[in-house]
Structure formats: C-alpha cells, structure tokens
C-alpha cells in the first residue's frame, strides 16, 4: 500500500471535504413513514381493483403453534391486518398482511404480499423508527423473500442473509415474515 502522505490528502482539508460532501449528498436517510398500508397494497398489487379487509385474526392453539414455527414463542396477531387483493371480476389476486415487530426498541411496520398459492411476492417496510438497522429497507435484502412460502425456513443465516450491523432488525423482521407466511399457508391458501 502506498504511504499516505500529506500531499495525497492534507488532513486539515478533511473537515472541509466532509462538510462539502454532507451538503452535496443526496438527501436519502432513514425515516419513519415510508408508505401507508394503502400505498403499499397498491404498489404490491397494481392490478387489484379492491382490497377487502378481513376480520381480525384469531388463531386456535394448534394454528398458533404452527404459525410460530421453529422459532417458537407466542404469536401476537393483534397488529395483523389482512386484506384480500381482488381483481375487478372478483378474482383473488393474493393477500396483503401488515404486521409490526420490534427492531431493538422500536416498532418496524411492514407489509407482505402473497400470491394465492401462499408464495411471497414482495415485502415493504411501512415505518422504521430505530436509528440503526434501517438497511432492511434495501430492495436487494427484501427481494430475498420473494417466492418463499410457509414451507420455507425463512430464517437469518439459513435461507435469508443478514445485514452486518443490523442483525436485530433483520432477525426480528425475518421471524415476523416467516410467521405471516405460515399463517397464509395454513389458513388462507385454498379457502378463497
């Protein structure tokens, strides 16, 4: 490696560069509300003419166990909002389930779009409140879930890759998406 000399980069200039970069940088930082649920639904099912909200989800003990999956733990459906995406002729195009999980301290609101066969089409982050781990918004990371179903592992470091420095957000979001996928597969698929 070349020696890093004063001539290469006068260190006193760095603060000036930093200020310049900060001022010139595109304004694209973490935020809270990226999308409303309605916007996300439309984004994920552009062909749908309406989204029929379903009744609050109540699971039997057996269903809850199944939905919890290998990660176990209790399943709290109170945050879930389930809607069926319908075409103008009434055909079911799929489902959108919105949920919230804790990142480290704050809630992350997200929505998952499912095809009628229970395969994940898309994941959207609706709100992000943590100061760290906002990288879960990265499109490439969210794309990893496409095509997975309730039968997939949907676990960090298994079939879903982690984001270094955002482990908690990645893990909790992945676990949440897995629960929704298992719910859709167990309860919604084949019943429409």
Partner 1 sequence: MRRDKLKTPIALVAAAIAASSFIVTPAAAAPPADTARKVDRLQDEINAMAQQLQEMKQQLLQMKQENQQLRGQQAETAKQTEQAVTQQKELQTQVTAATQTAQSAQSAATKPSPLDNVSLWGYGELYYTHPTNKQPDTRADLARAVFGIGYQFNDTTRFNSEYEIEHAVASADDVGESEVEQFYVDHRLNPSLSARAGLFLIPAGLLNENHEPTNFYGVTRNFVETLIIPSTWREGGVSLYGETENGLGWNAGLTTGLDLSKWDFNPETPLYTSALELQNNGAAPMQATHQEMALANAQKLSGYLALNYRGVPGLTVGGTVFGGGAVSATPYTGSQNAYLYEGHVRYQPGRWDLSALYARGGFTNTAQANAQFPGASNPLPASFYGWYAQAAYNFDVGGYRLAPFARYEKYDMGASYEGLAPGFSGTLTGTTPAGTFPSPRDTVYTLGANFYLNPNVVFKFDVQRFRTNIDFDRIDLGLGLAF
Q: Compute the least distance from the CB of residue 22 to partner 1, in Å.
A: 4
Nearer to partner 1, 48 or 111 (CB): 111
CB of 67 to partner 1, least distance (A): 15
Judged by CB, which is closer to partner 1: 13, or 38? 13
Q: Which residues bind partner 1 (CB under 8 A)?
A: 1, 3-4, 6, 9-19, 21-22, 25-34, 56, 58, 76-78, 104-106, 129, 131, 134-135, 137-141, 143-144, 157-158, 160-165, 167, 171
Contact 146, 83 (CB under 8 A): no
What pairs with residue 140 in β-bridges?
Answer: none
Strand partners, 125: 110
User: What's the closest the beta carbon of residue 82 comes to partner 1, in angstroms?
Assistant: 14
What's the min distance (Å) between Cβ of 150 and partner 1?
A: 21
Measured from the CB atom, is 160 or 181 closer to partner 1?
Answer: 160
Give whichever of 92 and 106 is closer to partner 1, judged by the CB atom: 106
């Amino acid at each position: 490696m070349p020696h890093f000399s004063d001539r290469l980069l006068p260190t006193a200039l760095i603060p000036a560069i930093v200020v310049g970069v900060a001022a010139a940088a595109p304004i694209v930082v973490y935020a809270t509300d990226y999308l409303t649920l309605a916007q996300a639904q439309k984004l994920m099912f552009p062909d749908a003419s309406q989204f029929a909200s379903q009744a609050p989800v109540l699971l039997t003990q057996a269903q809850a166990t199944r939905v919890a999956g290998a990660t176990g733990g209790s399943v709290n459906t109170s945050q879930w909002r389930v809607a069926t995406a319908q075409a103008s002729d009434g055909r079911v195009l799929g489902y959108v389930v919105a949920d919230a999980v804790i990142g480290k301290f704050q809630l992350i609101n997200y929505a998952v779009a499912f095809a009628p066969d229970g395969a994940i089409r898309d994941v959207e982050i609706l709100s992000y409140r943590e100061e760290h781990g906002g990288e879960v918004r990265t499109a490439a990371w969210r794309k990893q879930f496409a095509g997975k179903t309730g039968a997939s592992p949907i676990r960090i470091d298994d079939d879903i890759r982690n984001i270094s420095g955002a482990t908690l957000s990645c893990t909790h979001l992945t676990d949440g998406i897995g629960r929704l996928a298992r719910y859709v597969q167990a309860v919604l698929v084949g019943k429409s």
